[in-house]
Amino acid sequence: MASSMHIKITCLAVICLILGIPLANATLSCDQMTTSLIPCIGYVRNPVASVPAPCCDAVRAINDADCKDLCNCFNFIMLKMPEFNDPAFSTIPNNCGLQVHYSTCFAMDCD
């Protein structure tokens, strides 16, 4: 039979594992958004090319982000990555066949 201390250590290990599992979070951090948009750079530099599937996937995932977070992050992206010009980038959702809700995010003050 297992000792009392062994049972306690096992229970503690299980609790630590459970608490260490990240909870499902529908929103992406700005770093995750920025990284996920890397496949879109080629398209925004040359909008006549077709939108790559990884770019469409990234935009699809970002579409679930909170509007204020999205606004702040995209302002950051536009400053740090000048190749993400708004006119070319704004055509991506439509060219990926996506219905997006975040177009209104850019018409608001982020704060």
Give yes or no for residue 19 having a pLDDT over 50.
no
- 74-93 pLDDT per residue, tens: 777 777 776 666 677 778 88
Query: Do 43 and 52 contact (CB within 8 A), yes or no?
Result: yes
With cut-offs at 50, 70 and 90, classify the pLDDT of residue 54: very high
The pLDDT assigned to 72 comes to 80
Find, among 59, 55, 69, 82, the residue nearest to 27 by Cα: 69
The pTM for the full model equals 0.61
> How do the domains of the chain map onto residue ranges?
26-107
57 versus 107: which is more confidently predicted? 57
Superfamily of domain 26-107: Plant lipid-transfer and hydrophobic proteins (1.10.110.10)
Find, among 64, 63, 62, 39, the residue nearest to 52 by Cα: 39
